[in-house]
């Protein structure tokens, strides 16, 4: 299951609209729609905000796919990437280090 499919399923389970989640993320409805349709990917911080709004674990979105996330360290100004070639376990490990 792709990240977009997981986002859509979790959103529908909570009876939320795309417009509502777009507002939570401070993005347009079209941008959020692109996340669900796998036309673009949310950054890591957006995934965290979506998970919080949907009351699910970020790990639910990260597990079982080799998705690529780009995230910015706003406070340190460093950019980092998690590449598609890494295993889901590595994504989980990196998320847990952030906690």
Task: Give tens-digit pLDDT for 29-72.
Answer: 999 999 999 999 888 889 899 999 999 888 888 776 544 444 44
> What's the whole-number average pLDDT of the chain?
76
Q: What pLDDT was estimated at residue 92?
A: 61
The confidence score (pLDDT) of residue 96 equals 67
**Distance between CA 73 and CA 34 in Å, rounded?**
23
Residues 11-31 have a mean pLDDT of 94
Q: What percent of the chain has pLDDT over 90?
A: 43
By the 8 A CB rule, do 23 and 32 touch? Answer: no
pLDDT of residue 90: 58
Phi, psi of 56 (to 5 degrees): -130, 165
pLDDT at 19: 96
* pLDDT for res 58: 87
Looking at residue 45, its pLDDT comes to 87
């Amino acid at each position: 299951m792709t990240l977009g499919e997981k986002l859509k399923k979790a959103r529908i389970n909570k009876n939320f609209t795309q417009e509502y989640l777009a507002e939570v993320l401070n993005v347009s409805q079209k941008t959020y729609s692109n996340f669900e349709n796998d036309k673009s990917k949310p950054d890591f911080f957006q995934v965290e905000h979506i998970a919080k709004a949907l009351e699910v674990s970020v790990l639910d979105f990260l597990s079982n796919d080799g998705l690529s996330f780009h995230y910015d360290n706003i406070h340190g100004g460093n950019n980092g990437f998690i590449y598609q070639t890494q295993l889901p376990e590595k994504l989980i490990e990196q998320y847990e280090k952030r906690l």
